[in-house]
Amino acid sequence: MHWHASHRADPLALPLADRHYSRQKPGTPQFVPPGRCLVLLNQDVTALWVTSWPFTRWVRHAWAGAWVCSFFRNESPHLSSDLIVDAVAATRWYWPDVPALGIVTFIDPAKVRSTNPGFCYRSAGWTRLRETTKGGLIVYQLLPRDMPSAEPFNGATLRLNL
């Protein structure tokens, strides 16, 4: 497991967040959309992942109810696909009730420096969907049946059901 828990305004993660193409207001303390989230950071602060779980009533895309990888930046020597697999496993551990639509992510092909946008997601088992968002973003999805087993992130403690 490459990840440990962080939070939506972690000053250590902020520089990574600010270098992501989707960052709307670089420098502001919070870098995660409103709502439920799991923020993961690797040990040497060279990779950042955010799983958001927006409330369905606020979602405007076709995958309402799904988890959303709203942020992934990798500046580490680790393969992005390995980090993605671990992040999904940690998300499954954090939220054991996996949505039927699984997890999705949206990629702006005009803003990533790749001739094959989303290749790391495909390498991690995700499927590129035929449809795009209204804004032309590429959509990748990982359904529950294709997800890795749940695994706690580093430093996680078991929760008690009282």
pLDDT in tens for each of the 162 residues of the chain? 899 999 999 999 999 998 887 877 888 888 888 889 999 999 999 999 999 887 677 767 777 788 999 999 999 999 999 999 999 999 999 999 999 999 999 998 888 888 888 999 999 999 999 877 777 889 999 999 999 999 999 988 876 555
Q: Is the dihedral of CA 8, 9, 10, 16 positive or negative?
A: positive
The answer to whether residues 51 and 87 touch, using CB atoms and an 8 Å cutoff, is yes
Looking at residue 74, its pLDDT comes to 94
**Residue 127 half-sphere exposure toward CB, CA atoms < 13 A:** 12
Identify each DSSP E strand in the chain by its residue range. 3-5, 36-42, 47-53, 67-74, 103-107, 127-132, 138-142
Question: How far is 63 from 70, CA to CA, in rounded Å?
Answer: 13
Question: How far is 10 from 8, CA to CA, in rounded Å?
Answer: 6
Reported pTM = 0.89
Question: How far is 16 from 34, CA to CA, in rounded Å?
Answer: 19
| Edge-to-edge strand ranges of the sheet holding 3-5 | 3-5, 36-42, 47-53, 67-74, 103-107, 138-142, 127-132
**Residue 153 half-sphere exposure toward CB, CA atoms < 13 A:** 22
Looking at residue 159, its pLDDT comes to 66
Q: Which of 115, 126, 28, 110 is nearest to 69 (CA)?
A: 126
CATH class of 3-146: alpha beta
Question: How far is 156 from 138, CA to CA, in rounded Å?
Answer: 33
The answer to whether residues 71 and 49 touch, using CB atoms and an 8 Å cutoff, is yes
